[in-house]
A and B are shown apart, each in its own frame.
Chain A
């Protein structure tokens, strides 16, 4: 996973992410600017970075998951 761009815009953070080696697998994520109560901006950005990593890993796992084999049901 590679960050192509990471920007702070007037009303949001915007991240453009290359998920893997496939140039078509690019995702854009936007996050609100205000951190949750009790979090610093840096903690918030670290949390966003972690969540993006989790989302990308989740999507790649779904994309690359082998097709489950069907099992014949007995008695039909």
Chain B
């Protein structure tokens, strides 16, 4: 793992420090968002008119002084970066050829709620750094339908799928949870003591041709 640094300014226009022909940092004139070494009053406050003396690392958004501050992911969730220029950092992880953002626990939709009559696969899902997951099959109108959910890993070399966990047939309106995670106590048709591979999907097999309405979601966990 490593960290990356970025610079965020008002409207997200700032991307790097400006330099002159000799490579020295320079102040940009009003009219464009910037960050750099500016002649300014160190007592300047965010949002004030840009001062002209002293020396301070700061930036301007085209009109006003914006004082950079360091923002570190992980201090708290849902923080606003405000209007100040800011430096953000986050973890990246190398996957053997490129760099991926480090993910937190996440959730999503595998199959949206709909009436179906045939076997249906989800799209291939990418697991960046999770260990396992919960898959939730929510049947809201079972009728006389019958389905069986399967969580599968994918060998991206051959394109073939292999089963991680296969549930029991579901024939009633119900919420069914399937778990895959290392060191869980395995339970037939609902819990697998296994890890989640990089690429995976679910398959919902239709055991008959009758209509059944359901959705499938997931919660991927570190």
Contacts and interface: CB of A to CB of B under 8 A. Distances in A.
Interface of A: 10-12, 29-34, 36-39, 43, 47-48, 50-52, 54-55, 57-59
Given A37-B119, A55-B109, 10 more contacts: A11-B156, A11-B159, A32-B124, A32-B159, A39-B119, A47-B120, A50-B114, A54-B114, A55-B112, A58-B109
A54 B124 contact: no
A57 B157 CA distance: 32
A54 B123 contact: no
B154 A32 contact: yes
Interface residues of B, number: 21
A12 B156 CA distance: 9
B119 A30 contact: no
Given A57-B112, A59-B109, A12 B118 contact: no
Interface string B88-132: 000000000000000000000101111000111111100000000
* Chain A interface helix/strand/loop/mixed: mixed
A39 to B, nearest CB: 7
A36 B109 contact: no
Given A29-B123, A59-B109, A47 B118 contact: yes
Given A38-B119, A39-B118, A32 B112 contact: no
Nearest to A57: B112
Contacts of B120: 36, 47, 51
A55 to B, nearest CB: 6
Contacts of B156: 11
B112 A58 contact: yes
